[in-house]
Amino acid sequence: MALQEKLDRFKQQQEKCQSMLSNIAAKSASSRSTPKPAPAAASPFPSARPSAPVKFSNDTERLQHINSIRKAPVGAQMKRVIDILFQTRQAFTPEQINEACYVDVNGNKDVFEGLRKNPKVNYDGKRFSYKAKHDVKNKNELLVLIRKFIEGIAVIDLRDAYPNVMEDLQGLKAAGQIWLLSNFDSQEDIAFPNDPRVPIKVDDDLKELFRSIELPRDMLDIEKDLQKNGMKPATNTAKRRAAAQVQGITSKPKPRQKNKEFSKKAKLTNAHLPELFQSLKNS
């Protein structure tokens, strides 16, 4: 029987019971208004008082809540299930999901198929469970995973591995086993392995060379340098300036802007590897 039909029947029963109670109360009031002869002997029991209004269960509100959930869009129902799987990290049968969040997986084919095909859900034929991007369960497994990514791994890809993964990342960083590089320009942190067997040492000559390099101030010169090194510039300043002159617009050279990607890397290095360029700051 559908849930709505149960609600309708329950409401009808409430109305019927309330009507019966009203009739009983009316008959009782009319009988008290009619004078009766005094009884021969007093009754040993106290006189019955009018019954208090019957208070029905709050089950109606719960059933309405369940009905609203099951009438919600498929995506909203799936999100409720995935949230339960993510928070508990346990495997649930469809019946257990129904008890936990009132989503009828077996009764809604679209919800069932959507969960079965969802990349964040694992289904073994009987139970649903949360599926993280990387299958790690503790700090040791997390460290082994990060060491496999020499070029770094995005922290956003590790957030859902297990509940306290962020605390373990900070613990590995504090122990000097990994680097967590971040800056104000980028919204994503990157985790890099830190192998103590490979200490990083920068020669003074390399530091001086890094300090002495200066980019050309004119875009034409920058594009020429890129072409000399076998790279194709993303802009064509000569063509743009020629078009501006044809249209009678004087092209003014723009002030030099730092390369965005280079700026990010420089900030990353300066912010998190200060020992590499300490001599540059002191000079």
- Whether 131 and 162 have beta carbons less than 8 Å apart is answered as no
Write out pLDDT tens, residues 53-69.
Answer: 544 555 788 888 888 99
Q: Is residue 126 domain-shared with residue 144, that is, in the same domain?
A: no
**122 within domain boundaries:** yes
Domain stops at, among 77, 98, 130: 130
151 within some domain: yes
Segments of the chain scoring below 50 in pLDDT: 40-48, 54-55, 262, 265-266
Parent domain of 231: 204-244
pLDDT (0 to 100) of residue 266: 47
- Provide the angle, in degrees to the nearest 10, between the axes of the packed helices 59-70 and 3-33: 160
For residue 93, being part of any structural domain is answered with yes
Work out how many domains the chain is built from and give that number: 3
Q: Determine, yes or no, domain membership for 236.
A: yes
Task: State the burial class of residue 194 (Cβ atoms within 10 Å of its Cβ: 0-12, 13-18, 19+).
Answer: middle
Q: What is the pTM of this model?
A: 0.48
